[in-house]
């Protein structure tokens, strides 16, 4: 464990650390565009310069290893001047696009200019013009002029997705990135290139021009797109959710997430949601609909009741609802609705798993705890011979990953009474008539709880925001279905009205709040 001194502070680092890694440990700021902890070292942007005692030339921190007793600084005039010039080289051919650039507000160039810039530009020559609005594939658009050729995206497709679509073409200041032979950038990880692009060169077709980033807040969560449970940040404001980005977690997803997972914000937004409850054709508040269903449940208690669960709810919710059915309604007919059975165990080798549920392990755990052994065949048989009269379903949150949804709905609606809980709209569901209850549910960003991923890792999720305030969690629904009243939520500890729980400390306000909160590039 070599010790070194960085800007006067002594730090001990892991054997084989580069200076830039040591600076992450010591918390010293260092400019960098091409270095990314999840990719190989390229050493091309030349911003991460440091001075090392005894070395007349400045060195790059990303490709220089720390040795015992090394004295490093990146605050000297020499370093500052080199970084200023490094930035100037980046900017001489850069377009004046900030007002229309999607990256404005989270742009590495803007950040650097604030830190080292504010000087008079020396470039008096015409800029090199490069391609704009280059369609790279189904998800990503390239603006070559803004690209600073850090090669992060190229290295990503070579080293992480291993799909090799991208390359650097041409030479000198005509160099541009692009796709080989016009092959599209089309893989399930393509949007990571947008995340790691330090400038606005790669933009997400889905997100571009939809929001200025400084109008967005963000919150941490866990993706519910599959059983990997990638750690994510959800970006939202009062208009809804706009995008999802991965958050580093060494044990789960590293730095990345898949493109399918990024769509998870779409079914959360209000336009996709069930807003009103329904009880036998009558619209009412979600809570009222649930309470209304208590009548029929009371009357059919015992083996005539079946509970069907998808694996997209939290551990705590499963505990509440299964307990209610076993103890209050005296039934052990609890069934696990498994989507896409054939591909359930598949894995793409990187992150995405065939089990498209965030909490299969959690559901199985609670079922086991309550000694549940019923199989889907028991359910089908019970429906066919009429022994099962009332079916309660906690339907999928993400309907897209339930391809046989309509089929199942048809099968389950054979029951005399169908009580269906779900967060998203569905035409076939709304079209059902007769003894049908529809209860709007909250989504994963609207509640606290626990998911257990494929490997058995428990991950807590916290409420990020509320989209449909009237919607219920499964825990709340369980209470109401059992004829109880909702417990009043605990009042939050007292907080003066002029403060928010997510208050940003004053010293950080010196920077754009968003820039502070988004973490490092």
Partner 1 sequence: MSETKVLTEFYHLPEYQTLAGYKAKGGYETLPKALKMQPQAIIDEVKASGLRGRGGAGFPTGMKWGFLPKNGEPRYLLCNADEGEPGTFKDRMMMERAPHQLIEGMIISAFAVGSHKGYIYVRGEYVFPIECLNKAIKEAYDAGLLGKNILGSGFDFDLDVYRGAGAYICGEETGMISSLEGLKGQPKLKPPFPAVQGYLRKPTIVNNVETLAAVTYIVKDGAQTYRKHGTEKSAGTKLFSVSGNVAKPGNYEVPLGYPLLDLINKECGGMKPGRKLKAIIPGGSSAPVLTAEECAKANLDYESLAGLGTMLGSGAVIVMDDSQCMVDMLGVLTHFYAHESCGQCTPCREGTGWLNKILHSILEGRGRLQDIDLLVKVADNMKGKTICALSDAAALPVLSFVTKFRDEFEFYVREGRSKVKGTTYAEMHH
State yes or no: residue 116 binds ligand FES (CB under 6 A). no
Q: Which is nearer to ligand SF4, 110 or 227 (CB)?
A: 110
State yes or no: residue 338 binds partner 1 (CB under 8 A). no
Q: Binding pattern to partner 1, positions 166-205, x when CB under 8 A?
A: -xx-xxxxxx------------------------------
CB atoms within 10 A of CB 32: 23
CB of 502 to partner 1, least distance (A): 37
State yes or no: residue 130 binds partner 1 (CB under 8 A). no
User: Exactly one of 25, 98, 128, 285 binds partner 1 (CB under 8 A); which one?
Assistant: 128
Number of residues that bind partner 1 (CB under 8 A): 34
Q: Which does 376 bind (CB under 5 to 8 A by kind): partner 1, ligand SF4, ligand FES, none?
A: none
Return d(Cα 312, Cα 363) in angstroms, integer.
9
Return d(Cα 270, Cα 261) in angstroms, integer.
19
Token output for 31: 């400019």
Element (DSSP H or E) covering residue 431: helix 427-431
User: Exactly one of 47, 297, 366, 439 binds ligand FES (CB under 6 A); which one?
Assistant: 47
Element (DSSP H or E) covering residue 284: strand 282-284
Q: Which is nearer to ligand SF4, 44 or 400 (CB)?
A: 44
State yes or no: residue 42 binds partner 1 (CB under 8 A). yes
Return d(Cα 140, Cα 304) in angstroms, integer.
52
User: Exactly one of 41, 301, 406, 457 binds partner 1 (CB under 8 A); which one?
Assistant: 41
State yes or no: residue 34 binds ligand FES (CB under 6 A). yes
Distance separating the N- and C-terminal Cα atoms of the chain:
27
Report helix, strand or coil for 17: coil
Q: Which does 400 bind (CB under 5 to 8 A by kind): ligand FES, ligand SF4, partner 1, none?
A: none
Residue by residue, what is the 3-state secondary structure of 102-170?
CCCCCCHHHHHHHHHCCCCCCCCCCCCCCCCCEECCCCEEECHHHCCCCCHHHHHHHHHCCCCCEEEEC
The residues binding ligand SF4 (CB under 6 A) are 94, 97-98, 101, 103-104, 107, 109-110, 146-153, 177, 196-202
Residues 48-77 that bind ligand FES (CB under 6 A): 48, 60, 62
CB of 25 to ligand FES, least distance (A): 16
CB atoms within 10 A of CB 123: 12
**For residue 159, what are the contacts with CB-CB under 8 A and spacing of at least 6?**
39, 40
Q: Which residue has the tokens 């950080």?
A: 508
The stretch among 36-44, 258-266, 469-477, 486-494 that binds partner 1 (CB under 8 A) is: 36-44
Q: Which is nearer to partner 1, 23 or 148 (CB)?
A: 148
Q: Binding pattern to ligand FES, positions 197-216, x when CB under 6 A?
A: --------------------
Nearest CA to 185 among 205, 199, 200, 171?
A: 205
State yes or no: residue 39 binds ligand FES (CB under 6 A). no
Report helix, strand or coil for 83: helix
State yes or no: residue 454 binds ligand FES (CB under 6 A). no
Contact 518, 220 (CB under 8 A): no
- Residues, the chain: 521
Q: Which is nearer to ligand SF4, 136 or 388 (CB)?
A: 136
> Facing residues of 29 across strands?
none
Token output for 151: 């090669």
Nearest CA to 59 among 51, 67, 68?
A: 51
CB of 44 to ligand SF4, least distance (A): 7
Number of residues that bind ligand FES (CB under 6 A): 12
CB of 106 to ligand SF4, least distance (A): 8
State yes or no: residue 32 binds ligand FES (CB under 6 A). yes
Q: Which does 483 bind (CB under 5 to 8 A by kind): partner 1, ligand FES, ligand SF4, none?
A: none
Residues that bind ligand FES (CB under 6 A): 32-35, 43-48, 60, 62
């Amino acid at each position: 464990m070599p010790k070194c001194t960085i800007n006067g502070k002594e730090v001990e680092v892991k054997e084989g650390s580069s200076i830039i890694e040591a600076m992450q440990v010591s918390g010293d700021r260092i400019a960098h565009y091409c270095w990314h902890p999840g990719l190989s070292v390229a050493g091309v942007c030349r911003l991460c310069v440091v001075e090392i005692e005894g070395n007349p030339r400045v060195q790059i921190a990303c490709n220089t290893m720390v040795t015992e007793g090394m004295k490093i600084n990146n605050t000297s005039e020499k370093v500052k001047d080199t970084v200023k010039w490094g930035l100037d080289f980046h900017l001489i051919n850069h377009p004046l696009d900030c007002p229309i650039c999607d990256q404005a507000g989270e742009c590495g160039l803007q950040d650097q200019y604030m830190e080292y810039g504010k000087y008079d530009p020396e470039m008096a020559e015409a800029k090199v013009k490069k391609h704009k609005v280059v369609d790279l594939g189904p998800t990503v658009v390239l603006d070559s002029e803004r690209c600073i050729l850090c090669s992060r995206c190229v290295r990503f497709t070579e080293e992480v997705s291993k799909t090799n679509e991208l390359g650097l073409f041409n030479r000198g200041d005509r160099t541009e990135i692009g796709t080989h032979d016009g092959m599209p950038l089309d893989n399930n990880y393509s949007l990571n290139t947008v995340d790691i692009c330090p400038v606005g060169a790669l933009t997400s077709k889905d997100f571009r021009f939809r929001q200025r980033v400084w109008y967005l807040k963000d919150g941490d969560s866990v993706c519910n797109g599959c059983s990997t449970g990638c750690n994510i940040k959800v970006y939202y404001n009062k208009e809804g959710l706009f995008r999802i980005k991965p958050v580093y977690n060494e044990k789960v997803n590293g730095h990345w997430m898949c493109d399918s997972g990024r769509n998870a914000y779409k079914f959360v937004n209000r336009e996709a949601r069930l807003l009103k409850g329904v009880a036998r054709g009558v619209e009412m508040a979600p809570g009222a609909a649930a309470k209304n269903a208590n009548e029929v449940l009371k009357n059919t208690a015992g083996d005539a009741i079946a509970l069907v669960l998808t694996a997209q709810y939290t551990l705590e919710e499963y505990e509440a609802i299964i307990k209610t059915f076993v103890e209050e309604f005296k039934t052990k007919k609890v069934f696990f609705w498994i989507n896409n059975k054939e591909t359930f165990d598949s894995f793409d080798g990187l992150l995405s798993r065939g089990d498209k549920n965030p909490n299969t392990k959690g559901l199985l755990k609670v079922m086991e705890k309550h000694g549940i052994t019923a199989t889907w065949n028991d359910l089908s048989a019970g429906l066919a011979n009429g022994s099962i009269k009332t079916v309660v379903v906690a339907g999928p949150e993400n309907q897209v990953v339930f391809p046989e949804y309509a089929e199942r709905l048809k099968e389950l609606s054979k029951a005399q009474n169908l009580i269906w809980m779900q967060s998203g709209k569905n035409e076939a569901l709304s079209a059902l008539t007769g003894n049908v209850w529809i209860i709007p549910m909250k989504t994963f960003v609207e509640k606290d709880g626990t998911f257990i991923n494929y490997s058995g890792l428990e991950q807590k999720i916290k409420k990020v925001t509320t989209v449909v305030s009237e919607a219920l969690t499964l825990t709340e629904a369980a209470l109401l279905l059992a004829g109880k009243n909702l417990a009043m939520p605990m009042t939050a500890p007292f907080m003066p009205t002029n403060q928010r729980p997510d208050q940003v400390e004053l010293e950080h306000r010196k920077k754009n709040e968003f820039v502070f909160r988004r973490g490092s590039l």
